Chains A and B, each alone.
Chain A
Amino acid sequence: MIRHLKTFYNYRALLWEFVKKDIKLKYRNSFLGILWSMLNPLLIMVVLTFIFSNIFKNSIPNFPVYCLTGRLIYDFFSQATNQSMVSITSKSTLIKKIYVPKYLYPLSRVISSFIIFLISLIPLLLIMLVTRVKLTPMSLLAVFPLLSLVALALGIGLFLATVNVFFRDMQHLYSVVLLVVMYMSAIFYSVDIINPKYAFVLKFNPIFPIIAVFRDCLLNGQITGSGNWILCAIYPVLALGIGLFTFYKQQDKFILNI
């Protein structure tokens, strides 16, 4: 364990460089650059709000904040896991040549996605101010679902990265999984519209409880479902455990398959 921490310490500059590279390259050659990480969710929010307030009617109070919170979390999750998944296979030339702790590749992708996610929280705060959402001490608790989110994304990312080394089909399969996850996340509908018989299905979606808790903290100002709060703590631990286990178990075989 101490040895692990020591190597991590030695490689922290490289990890940071990987993260910087990801962010830099994402917006290189675009005029607005990093502004896009704020503009993009805002535009999507406008579109969703337009569709679901005018074309389809809904009764969700403060729909812009409601859908933006869901959308941002889902976006981060899909970005981070998708990029982690290919982080090993796309670095094959490097991995074959020089020893670098392999978890740095997925980890750096998760961190860079998270930094972009944090930037995109700025427009959310703005919208909250505009729509006069009251900030309470409860809002500070939003740190909890965010930490859960990072741990969850890292765990699932490590797992996907490992699987993808051995079965490249994962990339195609996972895009379908993500689609299902999106519809199961209650981003633009309210949980109330689901037949209570099937409502439990949402709980199998690991990011649904995180979104629900995040909304509890920022929008509702109270705990609306204690089950979600418990799941929000359990899923990340579970995912991280499985992810780390499979990654460490298989990482020496990566080189034979990339």
Chain B
Amino acid sequence: MDDFIIKLEHVGMHYRKTTQKVDSFKEYFIKRLRKQIAYEEFIALNDINLTIGKGEVVGFVGLNGAGKSTLLKLISGVQKPTVGKVTVKGKVSPLLELGAGFDNDLTGRENIKLNGLILGYSKEFIKEKTDEIIEFAELKDFIDTPIKNYSSGMRARLGFAIATVVTPQILIVDEVLSVGDGRFKKKSEQRMVELIKSDATVLFVSHSLAQIRRLCTKVVWLEKGQIKMVGPTKEVCDAYEAYL
């Protein structure tokens, strides 16, 4: 197990959550004066220990709010854990859901460049791959129109094409494969299978158990911020299904 690519040791995420949302000076001072600001400890993740090896395809299951997305945020580095240690050896490419990195007013082509740079590709690489991305996303006729005119499926296709044009070291897929029409779904799943067969590590969140069963080699079941079960896909999925 020394050949890990992601390792989480005793990772926890605790928020000090105000019971009411305060986001104006006035509210803050009034509530402060009245001593109405009560804090509540909210534990999003608690004592998570997890090791993921190179090339594994890990599915994350659990009810809404179980901490799946928080966990992935910790791995991708956008959030820091309040306790514990996260070690990631390699570059994380999140598959930005519905193109979170897109700018609505830019054209598809400009967005490829922008998004590619955000994902850490080099300029030359993007230039070289632009045509391939457009081809895969099937957006030839729309590539020079601003993205605000795209349908959500088109945006998702473009986002998927950009993120997977290279075999990433670590790919995070958070509920995105459910968009796009049936044809593209098939195509993207095919690409996923390719990635899975390569040595990319894929972290996969989905509420579709069927999809997880098809794609993953290992499944992590989260509940209330804790790992309830980790193991081979079939075992965990069966247990989770029984629980549901």
A-to-B contact residues, CB < 8 Å: 10, 13-14, 17, 21, 24-25, 28, 93-100, 166-169, 173, 252, 255-257
| Residues of chain A within 8 A of B113, CB atoms compared | 17
| Residues of chain B within 8 A of A167, CB atoms compared | 23-25, 28
Closest 5 CB pairs between A and B? A99-B77, A93-B100, A14-B117, A97-B100, A169-B24
CB distance from A255 to the nearest CB of B (A): 5
Within 8 A of A (CB), among B63-110: 73, 76-80, 92, 94, 96-97, 100-101, 103, 105-106, 110
Q: Does B114 contact A (CB under 8 A)?
A: yes
Q: Which residue of chain A lies nearest to B69 when distances are taken between CB atoms in the complex? A: A96
By the criterion CB–CB under 8 Å, are B101 and A98 in contact? Answer: yes
Q: List 10 A-B contacts (CB under 8 A).
A: A13-B117, A24-B110, A95-B78, A97-B78, A98-B101, A99-B92, A166-B23, A167-B23, A255-B73, A257-B23
By the criterion CB–CB under 8 Å, are B78 and A21 in contact? Answer: no
- A166-B23, A167-B24, A168-B23 in contact; A97/B80 too (CB < 8 A)? no
CB distance from B28 to the nearest CB of A (A): 7
Q: How many residues of B contact A (CB 8 A)?
A: 30
By the criterion CB–CB under 8 Å, are B106 and A21 in contact? Answer: yes
By the criterion CB–CB under 8 Å, are A168 and B24 in contact? Answer: yes
Other than the known A94-B100, A97-B101, A256-B15, what 10 A-B pairs have Cβ atoms closer than 8 Å?
A17-B117, A24-B110, A95-B78, A96-B73, A98-B76, A98-B94, A98-B96, A99-B76, A168-B24, A252-B80
By the criterion CB–CB under 8 Å, are B25 and A21 in contact? Answer: no
By the criterion CB–CB under 8 Å, are A13 and B77 in contact? Answer: no
A173 to B92 CA separation, bound complex (whole angstroms): 39
Q: Does B198 contact A (CB under 8 A)?
A: no
Partner of A28, one of B23, B26, B105: B105
Within 8 A of A (CB), among B41-82: 73, 76-80
| Residues of chain A within 8 A of B120, CB atoms compared | 10
A98 to B10 CA separation, bound complex (whole angstroms): 23
By the criterion CB–CB under 8 Å, are A14 and B118 in contact? Answer: yes
B-to-A contact residues, CB < 8 Å: 15, 23-26, 28, 73, 76-80, 92, 94, 96-97, 100-101, 103, 105-106, 110, 113-114, 117-120, 122-123
| Residues of chain A within 8 A of B103, CB atoms compared | 21, 25
By the criterion CB–CB under 8 Å, are B100 and A96 in contact? Answer: yes
A95 to B122 CA separation, bound complex (whole angstroms): 20
By the criterion CB–CB under 8 Å, are B26 and A96 in contact? Answer: no
Max count, chain A CB within 10 A of own CB: residue among B78, B79, B103: B78
CB distance from A167 to the nearest CB of B (A): 6
By the criterion CB–CB under 8 Å, are B119 and A98 in contact? Answer: yes
By the criterion CB–CB under 8 Å, are B28 and A100 in contact? Answer: no
A95 to B73 CA separation, bound complex (whole angstroms): 10
| Residues of chain B within 8 A of A173, CB atoms compared | 25
A44 to B116 CA separation, bound complex (whole angstroms): 40
By the criterion CB–CB under 8 Å, are B105 and A169 in contact? Answer: no
By the criterion CB–CB under 8 Å, are A97 and B105 in contact? Answer: no
By the criterion CB–CB under 8 Å, are A21 and B23 in contact? Answer: no
A93 to B103 CA separation, bound complex (whole angstroms): 11
- A17-B114, A255-B79 in contact; A97/B24 too (CB < 8 A)? no
By the criterion CB–CB under 8 Å, are B101 and A94 in contact? Answer: yes
| Residues of chain B within 8 A of A96, CB atoms compared | 73, 78, 100
| Residues of chain B within 8 A of A168, CB atoms compared | 23-24
| Residues of chain A within 8 A of B25, CB atoms compared | 167, 169, 173
| Residues of chain A within 8 A of B96, CB atoms compared | 94, 97-98
Partner of A98, one of B23, B28, B78, B110: B78
- A17-B117, A256-B15 in contact; A99/B78 too (CB < 8 A)? yes
| Residues of chain A within 8 A of B23, CB atoms compared | 166-169, 257
CB distance from A151 to the nearest CB of B (A): 26
By the criterion CB–CB under 8 Å, are B123 and A100 in contact? Answer: no
Q: Which residue of chain A lies nearest to B114 when distances are taken between CB atoms in the complex? A: A17
A97 to B173 CA separation, bound complex (whole angstroms): 11
| Residues of chain B within 8 A of A257, CB atoms compared | 23
CB distance from A195 to the nearest CB of B (A): 33
| Residues of chain B within 8 A of A97, CB atoms compared | 76, 78, 94, 96-97, 100-101
